[in-house]
Structure 1
Amino acid sequence: MLLNVAVKQFVSILNHLVKVEALSCNSRPATTGRSKGSKMWSLVSFVTTAAVSSLVTIGVVKYLDRKKDKSQEEGTKEEKEYEIAQRKLQFRKPEKIWNTVLFFENGVTTDPELASLKTFVHYLDSARATIQLCLYRMSHWTLGDVLLKKFNKRRGLLIQIITDYDVFTSIDKGTTRLFRKCFDEGMSLKVRRSKSHMHHKFAIIDGEAVLTGSLNWTEQAFTGNHEDVLVTTNPLHVDKYMQRFRTLWRNSQDPADLMAK
């Protein structure tokens, strides 16, 4: 559309110049052939300059049109890819299970279709590529066994764990044994050492879903406390947790380095 406008504008300029020159010639007295030739050359020169300028303008307009069309195509392609990714995510992680809130009341969720511990086992067992845990305490061996079995069975599965330094080095063996077992089995584990405790309790599954809330991964939390857990596949929320995990991971230490000191 912009190209058509530019062409029409150029033609309009030429017509206007011809009319102006015709009127000018009619209103002036006769001139010599040399003078006529000079004026004609000036007109031709002006028209040529206008033509070149118009062609340049047309070229710029065509380039901008192509760039705009390409940008629109890329935008449409990204939207389609996002829609496809969301449909696949919905297939792998159904809305009812993966976008909900669990309230644990002395070991029983308020949703009758979701058994507390079985639900957590399902979340962990569904992982295909990565499980990233940021936990203050983890001493529930049922969950630990799921991690260990899945890690040893599924080659290529990456399990990363971040915990608090004081918890990992605690003399309370019940608190540290499971973390150390995971580390000894070859899982990637780091400890966060700072003036304040690393008190997070969240898990990221395949970079697609987050489990977060008040729940430490202990038997007491699952069977004796009032706890809550939010489960979500919202990309905006998942991305924020991914960024936080990466930051904590960079600023945490390998247990082997601590033991060597």
Structure 2
Amino acid sequence: MNAKVEIDNVTKIYSGNKKNSQVLALDTTSLKIMPNEFITILGPSGCGKSTLLRVVGGLEEQTTGHVYLDGEEVFGPSSNRGMVFQAYSLFPWLTVEENIEFGLKNNGMTAAQRKEVVHTYIELVRLNGFEKHYPKQLSGGMQQRVAIARALANDPEILLLDEPFGALDNQTRTLMQELLLEIWEKSNKTILFITHDVEESIFLANRVIVMTSRPGRIKADIPIDLEHPRPYNIKVSPRFLEYKEQLTELIREESLKAMMEVK
């Protein structure tokens, strides 16, 4: 089976604060993501997780290397990659249904077809009854559900999420994790998800990618062999706790390394 996404020897260099200085954010990173996989990327702060996601999304251009989606090289953003960020990034002047419909108006759909698609995704993210609400009338978790529905409504080949639950309280975050897993299991989308939370990375993924401290490289690629559907109480199972111990130690090593380099 061919990879859905192939990241091939990607590096990313930024200009530093000092004159003529440079910062190596990503160093020779390669990764293959297969169709319908749910990949989480875990690593210490500043390791290049979000940079890698933005390169895959076409929002940033890599310094060297290539990114391919279904064998076609990525040049810039496209509707075949849906993106959701920690900031909800909804249009405040549009209602829930108008936000979800926004990207559909450019693809030739009739008004009736757009209405059907919007209804489907409002049901999928459980926002029935809130169609006419504006973002300011919604909780943070509800706003993020709208953002996910909007990204999915365009039927992207891959969904890219950059710490989308980071601003939510613990209870809402837990419910959103369960909802996203349910959506993934129903939609069969390929998902690349950035997080700094070890438990979240295990609970959501079928593979966890661990990155080194800056410059970011892939330190470990760990398959997660847990059942689906994945109940929330799996987080206290012996196998889950084994993964948590393993990943916590990998992240701790990189965090300590980064602290020593700062000194």
Please tell me the TM-score bracket, short chain as reference. under 0.3
- TM-score for both structures, normalised by structure 2: 0.24
Q: TM-score, normalised by structure 1?
A: 0.24
The answer to which structure, 1 or 2, has the higher relative contact order (CA under 8 A, 6+ apart) is 2
Whichever structure has more helix as a proportion of its residues is 1
